[in-house]
Structure 1
């Protein structure tokens, strides 16, 4: 092993190579800093070391300048190189030392104590996790939906909302917010229709990472919405709203049931199970399934199939929770289908939205997590086993 002569060393840069920082580009930061040192022939004066987690994951990637005591948040190459030159902009400083006191940057959150003595009853937090959309209107619908539910949730519970991707706060931030507000228990509830990669891998990975960072906090995990009788009721309501009488026979009508699409076999099977339960409540000769992405049959395939089977009217029924880019795309498809099939009536029903029965399902999933009867805890165990077998590395980006 190399033994460096550090006699002339003036500064020691400690570069976090913990999981979160590595996922955010810590390897690149390490190489950029070392390249800047070499280029300026500062090797004898500045030494670098890789560290494990330094407990400031939200500020990733973290670099500590010793003995100055300055902590930096590095998110671009310019900052990496400026650290070597000691010309870092104020907004990239997490902590600095002034007159022997540690000063936190104005844009940086305070953080929490890793270990805390219990003071009175443990606060419980419920963290709802929406998928997140590139369309902000969809994210706002999720926030408003949870806000409308608050009146039905025990007022002693902290209630927060976060997102898997495309929106803020993400799960990591959501968990930290709950703990900052004093939660000793965090119950994570996915607002996700079907059990697939997000609920099997990505959310459990976030929870497991949080358990390592906050060993004194108890985490539980709720199950997805899944197959539930109330979901059938929501779908029937949305059909009724477009003038479809669920109690009458509709011999020339087809229902085109449209899901998001997933490569997960279980999710696809569950979607088809829901379609069969739905058909049992309808009097139509045709109910076709289709997916707007990832898998087949496509929405175009489904529409063509309905027309080939003789449907004179096709109702597109979205299996979507809230609005988003895909719902916008589906509405455009409906308009094009009207032009492509002028002899058929094409209608599109609403997505789930603020339906009260969706509240019923999520409240049930929340209570299961709180009372320890949720199947989500088995999902966490399955994830741990999966990690042991495959060496899964959490790389889901937000």
Structure 2
């Protein structure tokens, strides 16, 4: 192990290499600072060290300048270089020291009190995690849906909503909101249809990281919507909305059940199992599966297969939770299919969406998390094993 003579050193830069900062580019920040020190021949007066989490994850990436006592937030190369020369703009300062007093920079969140465990009554929080959409209308659907569940959730519980990507708050911020409101236990419940990468890796990564940052907070994890009897009731109601009677035999009609698509074999297998069970509940001779992307069969292939099997009418039934770009694209596809196949009637049913019966599933998933019977427990264990074997580069979604 190296033992440096640090007597000549005038400054010590502590560069956070905790999981959150690393996911936001701390390795690059570390190398930029060290390179700037090297090319300016400052190695004899400035020493650098990597640290673990410093507790200001919101301000990632964090660099502390000792003995000045200034904490910096670094998002750009220029800021990393400016730290070496002590010419950092005020907007990048988290804390500064003046006359022995620590001052919080402008526009910086105060954060959670470290002695929160001694303040007030402890509470349980429920954090619902939506996927997030580039279209804000889809995100608003999630928020409204969760609000409708308030009356069915224990009023003593704190309830928050967050998103995996494309919308705010993200999971990290959602967890912090729960803690700021006094939670010492958080049940994380994904609003996700199929069990794939998001529920196997991305959400568990956020939970495991939060456990490190908040060791006194207890986390539980709920399972995805998955295969559930209520799913088929939702799908049948969507068909009824376009005039399809599930109890009547439809000789020349095909249903094309359409998912977003995933490379995860478990998710694809569950989707096929859902279609198989659903085919037993609707009187049509043809029920096919298709995917909007990533995997096959494509929607085009699905339509072609239905027509090849003799369908005179095809109902496109989207298995999506929220409106968005894919629904718009599907509408255009339906028009094009109709032009190409003028003798076949093409209909689009409404997407799965936030149907009232979905509340029943999510509330059941919440109860499983509370009871300790959720498969989410195994998901967290599987994630830890995955990281041990393969490593995991954690990226936050915004």
Give the match's secondary structure for 2:50: strand
- The farther-off stretch of 270-279 and 329-338 is 329-338
Does structure 2 conserve the Cα–Cα contact (< 8 Å) formed by 1:104 and 1:110? Answer: yes
How far off is 1:2 after superposition? 4.5
How far off is 1:396 after superposition? 3.8
- Mapping for residues 232-243 of structure 1, pairs under 5 Å: 232-243=232-243
- Matched residue, 1:156: 156
Does structure 2 conserve the Cα–Cα contact (< 8 Å) formed by 1:114 and 1:214? Answer: no
Quick check: 1:393 aligned with 2:387? no
The separation in 2 between residues aligned to 1:137 and 1:280, in whole angstroms, is: 34
How far off is 1:115 after superposition? 6.1
- Mapping for residues 189-268 of structure 1, pairs under 5 Å: 189-268=189-268
Does structure 1 conserve the Cα–Cα contact (< 8 Å) formed by 2:24 and 2:395? Answer: no
- Matched residue, 2:290: 290
The separation in 2 between residues aligned to 1:144 and 1:352, in whole angstroms, is: 16
- Matched residue, 1:101: 101
How far off is 1:395 after superposition? 2.6
- Mapping for residues 164-179 of structure 1, pairs under 5 Å: 164-179=164-179
Cα distance, 1:386–1:44 mapped onto 2, change above 3 Å? closer
- Mapping for residues 3-22 of structure 1, pairs under 5 Å: 3-22=3-22
Give the match's secondary structure for 2:33: helix
Give the match's secondary structure for 2:109: coil
The separation in 1 between residues aligned to 2:378 and 2:338, in whole angstroms, is: 46
How far off is 1:372 after superposition? 2.2
- Matched residue, 1:325: 325
Q: TM-score, normalised by structure 2?
A: 0.95
How far off is 1:189 after superposition? 0.1
Does structure 2 conserve the Cα–Cα contact (< 8 Å) formed by 1:17 and 1:50? Answer: yes
Does structure 2 conserve the Cα–Cα contact (< 8 Å) formed by 1:127 and 1:175? Answer: yes
Deviation readout 1:59-86 (Å, 9 max, x if unpaired): 1111001111110110110111111222
- The farther-off stretch of 59-68 and 79-88 is 79-88
Does structure 1 conserve the Cα–Cα contact (< 8 Å) formed by 2:227 and 2:270? Answer: yes
Does structure 2 conserve the Cα–Cα contact (< 8 Å) formed by 1:11 and 1:65? Answer: yes
Does structure 1 conserve the Cα–Cα contact (< 8 Å) formed by 2:314 and 2:344? Answer: yes
- Matched residue, 2:276: 276
The separation in 2 between residues aligned to 1:251 and 1:32, in whole angstroms, is: 68
> Where in structure 2 are there 5+ consecutive unaligned residues?
none
- Mapping for residues 352-391 of structure 1, pairs under 5 Å: 352-388=352-388, 390-391=389-390
Does structure 1 conserve the Cα–Cα contact (< 8 Å) formed by 2:120 and 2:182? Answer: no
How far off is 1:328 after superposition? 2.0
Give the match's secondary structure for 2:108: coil
Deviation readout 1:262-294 (Å, 9 max, x if unpaired): 111111111111111111111111101001111
State how many pairs are aligned. 397
- Matched residue, 1:143: 143
Cα distance, 1:115–1:264 mapped onto 2, change above 3 Å? farther
Does structure 1 conserve the Cα–Cα contact (< 8 Å) formed by 2:194 and 2:224? Answer: yes
The separation in 2 between residues aligned to 1:245 and 1:179, in whole angstroms, is: 48
- The farther-off stretch of 22-31 and 69-78 is 22-31
Deviation readout 1:21-47 (Å, 9 max, x if unpaired): 122111111121122223333222222
Quick check: 1:85 aligned with 2:91? no
Does structure 2 conserve the Cα–Cα contact (< 8 Å) formed by 1:114 and 1:213? Answer: no
The separation in 1 between residues aligned to 2:44 and 2:320, in whole angstroms, is: 60
Does structure 2 conserve the Cα–Cα contact (< 8 Å) formed by 1:202 and 1:394? Answer: no
Q: TM-score, normalised by structure 1?
A: 0.95
Does structure 2 conserve the Cα–Cα contact (< 8 Å) formed by 1:128 and 1:190? Answer: yes
- Matched residue, 2:122: 122
